[in-house]
Amino acid sequence: MNAHDHARGQASAYLAQLKDLIRIPSISTDPERKGDIRRAAEWLADDLRRIGFERVEIKPTAGHPVVYAEWLGAGEAAPTVLVYGHYDVQPAEIEAGWTSDPFEPVVRDGKIYARGAADDKGQVFAQVKAAESLLAAGGAPVNLKFLIEGEEEIGSPHLGAWVRANRDLLKADACVISDTSILAIDQPSICYALRGLAYMEVEVFGPKQDLHSGGFGGIVHNPAQALAEMIAQLHHLDGSVAVPGFYDDVLPLSDDERAELMKSAAPEDYWREMTGVPAFWGEAAYALHERIGARPTLEINGMVSGFYGAGSKTVLPARALAKISCRLVANQQPRRIFEQVRDHIARITPPTVRSEVRLIAEGVPARTDLHSRPMQAAIAAYEKGWGKRPLFERGGGTLPVMADIQRELNMPVVLMGFGLRTDGAHGPDEHFHVEMFHKGISTAIHFLELMGT
């Protein structure tokens, strides 16, 4: 019996096991759930041991533990695939609008309703069951390493350090992450690029203390005004970023890539409905989905100065602050962008005020070459698993774990999502299509088979 037949035969058993995993409320945001977090890690470790992994360990971190498992039975000559997922979930209370108990999975209309069903227990478990099916059918053609963490929903604060400390252990030829969405239940897609981040804080200092706007207004450069005047110099009128050198390292979109992306692009109406803005904005030379996925941005995430409550207070504020973040695309580097913004801010700071720019957070952009072997394997695997060739997307957000793995382990990363945008991850009535679970297992088996040929 081959792995696919095995998976089909075990379909209801695999689903029942997934339900057991889901019943453990492994909520990483809640300190009182530490015991449940541990239970979920142990449940997964037991399952990985049972299905034939040779080495399975619950590895401590400064926070919740990582489940590590490996099967190296394919031999040294065979490639190695690292699978990443997470066993922790967002909080959920039935009062928040759930139709049924969020930690008692129920299948309705072909969907399994429960917290974590899609994000990420259902997806990572599809990978585990793909491995089980291969091992049960005589072994996988590639070596397997699983890294399943327990802190993704709190921002993976300790994963980067743990990965850095375990570089040798995690050595592999490709990494696959199943924690994202595809375009539609009958249309697979691969997100092959995500944006990076350089998050900064700009502070402008004017008078030594708040002043009375009557007693001093007219001789002091108001720091809120000065900050506004500086922010106005961060973009050109055409919507492009005015920071010198900002676009130097941007990998241009090829005509082929643009054509591929166009096939998966949402229509303008979709973006109009999602944003509700009176008119779009941004770089006119690029389509909306390109501006989001393939172009870097500079965004004001917030600003504050002086008095902003109800009524009036005639203050001339002493300082003004803005939170500014740049979304970056390959091959921009967060530190270099920070330095360019910092230097530009210094240049445009008038002599009437003082300014400071501080780097708050950073993440490297990610982009996996569409011609790389893991990507080609993933494309073929989706085609076999879904019966339809996948479309290609670039995401506008940042996935810290993808950046961590790319930076620390230097291997191509494939985002092999089995979810849908409409799954309600993080909200009430989160669900996962049972069909997606089984197609996911099938696709994951194909991927590992293709990687081994």
Site for a copy of itself in 198-227 (CB under 8 A): 199, 206-209, 211-222, 224-225, 227
In 3-state terms, what secondary structure has residue 46? Answer: helix
Choose between 390 and 395: whose C-beta lies nearer to a copy of itself. Answer: 395
- Using left for φ > 0, alpha for ψ between -120 and 50, and beta otherwise, residue 75 falls in left
Kindly state the smallest distance separating residue 397's Cβ from a copy of itself, in Å.
3
Q: Give one DSSP letter per residue of 194-230, joined into a string.
A: E-EEEEEEEEEE-SSS-EEHHHHTTTS--HHHHHHHH
The tokens of 399 are what?
């996935």
With CB under 8 A as the rule, give the number of residues binding a copy of itself: 79
Kindly state the smallest distance separating residue 154's Cβ from a copy of itself, in Å.
13
Q: Stretches 45-53, 124-132, 168-176, 281-289: which one binds a copy of itself (CB under 8 A)? A: 281-289
Does position 246 interact with a copy of itself (CB under 8 A)? The reply is no
Does position 375 interact with a copy of itself (CB under 8 A)? The reply is no
Does position 306 interact with a copy of itself (CB under 8 A)? The reply is yes
Choose between 275 and 331: whose C-beta lies nearer to a copy of itself. Answer: 275
Q: Stretches 89-97, 103-111, 287-295, 372-380: which one binds a copy of itself (CB under 8 A)? A: 287-295
Q: Stretches 61-69, 88-96, 229-237, 339-347: which one binds a copy of itself (CB under 8 A)? A: 229-237
Does position 19 interact with a copy of itself (CB under 8 A)? The reply is no
Q: Stretches 34-42, 280-288, 340-348, 366-374: which one binds a copy of itself (CB under 8 A)? A: 280-288
Strand order in the sheet with 431-433: 106-108, 111-113, 431-433
Choose between 54 and 268: whose C-beta lies nearer to a copy of itself. Answer: 268
Kindly state the smallest distance separating residue 313's Cβ from a copy of itself, in Å.
6
Choose between 175 and 230: whose C-beta lies nearer to a copy of itself. Answer: 230
Kindly state the smallest distance separating residue 388's Cβ from a copy of itself, in Å.
25
Q: For residues 133 and 78, what is the distance between their CA atoms, to the nearest angstrom?
A: 19
Q: For residues 48 and 4, what is the distance between their CA atoms, to the nearest angstrom?
A: 19
Nearest in space to 341 (alpha carbons), one of 354, 358, 319? 358
In 3-state terms, what secondary structure has residue 395? Answer: coil
Does position 281 interact with a copy of itself (CB under 8 A)? The reply is yes
Kindly state the smallest distance separating residue 272's Cβ from a copy of itself, in Å.
10
Does position 426 interact with a copy of itself (CB under 8 A)? The reply is no
Site for a copy of itself in 118-177 (CB under 8 A): none
Q: Are strands 174-177 and 106-108 parallel, antiparallel or unpaired?
A: unpaired
Q: Give one DSSP letter per residue of 178-200, joined into a string.
A: --SEESBTTB-EEEEEE-EEEEE
Nearest in space to 102 (alpha carbons), one of 420, 430, 423, 424? 430
Does position 44 interact with a copy of itself (CB under 8 A)? The reply is no
Q: How many CA atoms lie within 13 A of 248 on its CB side?
A: 9
Please name every residue paired with 359 in a beta bridge, in sequence order, or none if there are none: 200
Kindly state the smallest distance separating residue 174's Cβ from a copy of itself, in Å.
25
